[in-house]
Amino acid sequence: MIIDAMDLLYGNEVDAFALMTSDSDFTPLVMRILESGMPVYGFGERKTPLPFVNACSQFIYTESLQQQGEEKGEGAEPVKKRSRNELRGDTALVRLLRTAVEKTSDDDGWASLARVGHYISNNSSFSPINYGYKKLGELIQASELFEFRHDGKVVYIKDARGR
């Protein structure tokens, strides 16, 4: 697989890579692909070691995808979205969201949701799917950690703590 990935990388015929594995032995491959400026989307089970998860541009747990697929079937349980308290209790998530807003906000503390999403995708392997949400904005709104403001089609958010 590594040789095939390198052939694809040097052939300049792909825009991104997707690796479906729970094996951290592929972490150096992810790092090499990222060095070339291409995103790497990882997919694996919850048992996937954190070094591999964190190395990917975005990582989605296959259990989350499986739940979404079951949602469409008859009689299937809906995907369990994490509650407000569960989201707020995830200190790594709260830190990631607050840092992203802080780094992308203007002088009055408001940050474009699009810029926040771009910052997160460039600095972590975060995916809202892993929390039961299809979109970042839905997850942020559910957390109730931020104020929302709409300016036409642009959505802005600000830390509700009001620094």
pLDDT in tens, 98-157: 999 999 998 888 999 999 988 888 778 788 888 888 888 999 999 999 999 888 888 899
Provide the residue range defining the domain that includes 6: 1-78
- Please compute, for residue 101, the number of CA atoms within 13 A of its CA located in the half-sphere on the CB side: 25
Query: What is the total count of domains within the chain?
Result: 2
Work out the burial of residue 98: count CB atoms within 10 Å of its CB; fewer than 13 is exposed, 13-18 middle, 19 or more buried. Answer: middle
Alpha carbons 138 and 131: distance in angstroms, whole number: 10
Q: Provide the whole-model pTM.
A: 0.64
> Among the three residues 50, 78, 106, which one is the final residue of a domain in this structure?
78
